[in-house]
């Protein structure tokens, strides 16, 4: 009975939502293990588009249980908004959504601190989603965070909010020259919000392990991508959590031996939102063409995504860090109509080829991509769902990617709908995992 992790192999937005949705039928529970409402997973079912930020995309499947693990940071207002939106779409979350009592809560002062810090960074700003994610994780590590379980203890919650607001107000005033927050107003607001969230809070680590013992299958849903991982990504231009597969264990309390496979998701090209190095970025009409055709605008913030060629160095590195078993390539159809398609096969610094992926951004910023040129295809591949009907040049492109990354490609996505997918062969590694 396999439990599987879905992980992004680039800078996020690889199309994980569609793949989680596609796999959900095979699993009983979908669990998020990190990040917060900075993520945006778009799922399209029968022409209806759902954008989920916090609740795992498995929720659109009736009967599936969704878990928000301890590694996730939860903004109560954002969560309630999402629950209400789902209800409006006639998707009920009652008895199907569980939130960890160990998950940390995003507070108004986290957003205020983030705004102050981003402004202070000036031209070194990270370009965060401004959701308070980073400061919430800072408080978690600083051992002053407020956890979901704390809302059951009125006195403790009040004391923690007052203490934190006091500390943050002095920082906001002294360091960032910002307006202080009102602790009592925050307390009132959170008491009200949390009352409605209480029914969803449980010990999800205990729940997940019990369900595994009962033979239930879990799909672990990663948010963001490997290059945004706080340890393995392009630090400091990263998010504040472990988006890599290892995060599934620490972010849910399920041990590594209970996880049997890792599926890496990569777009047929590369995108990035926010600041930071991006070696294959295209600041030209091709980049613009990809952005428009691929509708490359942030699902959470609406910001235009930076677009570029496929970077095989990045995905090979991600494949290694996550121990990816098999790859899914998404949005192949976005490359339709390009005469030439390039793949970055390596980096050069001062004319010398570099081995591996640099650990520091100063080096990465100096890297020049080494490109291989491939003929494109003029045919329309959108909605193609059979490998043999893809244009030969598209098949060659995919085979080259697989060779460069040293991983097999088991699914190719050619459009947002479930039906617009080339599914794995019966005897593929992925079919065995599923």
What is the binding site for ligand IMP (CB under 6 A)?
12-13, 38-40, 126-129, 131, 133-134, 223-224, 228, 239-240, 273-274
Task: Let me know: does 343 contact 404? Beta carbons within 8 Å.
Answer: yes
Strand bridging mode 97-100 / 201-202: parallel
Shortest distance (Å) from residue 54 CB to ligand IMP? 11
Q: Which is nearer to ligand IMP, 15 or 76 (CB)?
A: 15
Which letter does DSSP use for residue 260 in this model?
Answer: -
Would you say 178 and 169 are in contact if contact means Cβ atoms under 8 Å apart?
Answer: no
Residue of 37, 41, 61, 104 marked catalytic: 41
229 versus 325: smaller Cβ distance to ligand IMP: 229
Distance, in Å, from the CA atom of 347 to the CA atom of 357, rounded to the nearest integer, reads 8
- What three-state secondary structure class fits 262? strand
Instruction: Using alpha carbons, list the distances in angstroms from residue 333 to 105, 178, 272, 375.
Output: 39, 47, 19, 15
Q: Pairing relation of β-strands 261-267 and 4-8?
A: parallel
Establish whether 13 is a catalytic residue. Answer: yes
Q: Note the Cα 218 to chain centre separation in Å.
A: 17
Least distance between ligand IMP and beta carbon 221 (Å): 12
Please indicate whether residue 41 is annotated as part of the active site: yes
Tokens representing 389 are: 């009907």
Alpha-carbon torsion (268, 400, 9, 118), positive or negative: negative
Going by C-beta distance under 8 Å and a sequence separation of 6 or more, which residues neighbour residue 271? 10, 11, 13, 294, 296, 305, 306, 307, 308
In whole angstroms, the minimum distance from the beta carbon of 135 to ligand IMP comes to 9
Contact criterion met (CB below 8 Å) for 70 and 46 = no
Task: List residues with catalytic annotation.
Answer: 13, 41
């Amino acid at each position: 009975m396999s439990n599987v992790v879905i992980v992004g192999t680039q800078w996020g937005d690889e199309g994980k939502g569609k793949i989680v949705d596609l796999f959900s039928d095979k699993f009983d529970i979908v669990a998020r293990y990190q990040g917060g409402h900075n993520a945006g997973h778009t799922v399209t079912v029968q022409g209806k588009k759902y954008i989920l930020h916090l609740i795992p995309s498995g929720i659109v499947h009736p009967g599936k249980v969704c878990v928000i693990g301890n590694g996730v940071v939860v903004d109560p207002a954002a969560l309630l908004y999402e629950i209400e939106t789902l209800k409006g779409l006639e998707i009920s979350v009652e008895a199907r959504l569980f939130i960890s009592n160990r998950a940390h809560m995003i507070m108004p002062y986290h957003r205020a601190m983030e705004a102050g810090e981003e402004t202070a960074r000036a031209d070194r700003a990270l370009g965060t989603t401004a959701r308070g994610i980073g400061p919430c994780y800072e408080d978690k590590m600083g051992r002053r965070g407020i956890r979901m379980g704390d809302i059951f203890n009125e006195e403790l919650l009040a004391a923690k909010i007052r203490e934190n607001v006091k500390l943050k107000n002095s920082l906001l005033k002294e360091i960032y020259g910002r307006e202080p927050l009102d602790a009592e107003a925050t307390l009132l607001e959170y008491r009200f919000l949390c009352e409605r969230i209480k029914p969803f809070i449980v010990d999800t680590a205990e729940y997940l392990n019990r369900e595994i013992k009962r033979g239930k299958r879990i799909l672990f849903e990663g948010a963001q991508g490997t290059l945004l991982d706080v340890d393995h990504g392009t630090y400091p231009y990263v998010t504040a959590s472990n988006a890599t597969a290892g995060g599934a264990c620490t972010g849910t309390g399920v041990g590594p031996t209970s996880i049997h496979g890792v599926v890496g998701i990569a777009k047929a090209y590369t995108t990035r939102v926010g600041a930071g190095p991006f070696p294959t970025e295209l600041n030209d009409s091709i980049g613009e063409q990809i952005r428009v055709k691929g509708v490359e605008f942030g699902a959470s913030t609406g910001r235009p995504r930076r677009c570029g060629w496929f970077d095989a160095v990045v995905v090979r590195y991600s494949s290694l860090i996550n121990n990816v078993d098999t790859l899914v390539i998404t949005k192949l159809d976005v490359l339709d109509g390009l005469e030439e398609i390039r793949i970055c096969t390596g980096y050069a610094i001062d004319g010398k080829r570099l081995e591996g992926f640099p650990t520091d951004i100063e080096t990465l910023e100096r890297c020049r991509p080494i490109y291989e040129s491939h003929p494109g295809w003029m045919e329309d591949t959108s909605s193609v769902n059979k490998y043999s009907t893809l244009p030969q040049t598209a098949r060659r492109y995919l085979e080259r990617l697989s060779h460069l990354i040293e991983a097999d490609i088991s699914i190719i996505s050619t459009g947002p709908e479930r039906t617009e997918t080339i599914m794995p062969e019966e005897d593929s590694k992925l079919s065995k995992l599923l």
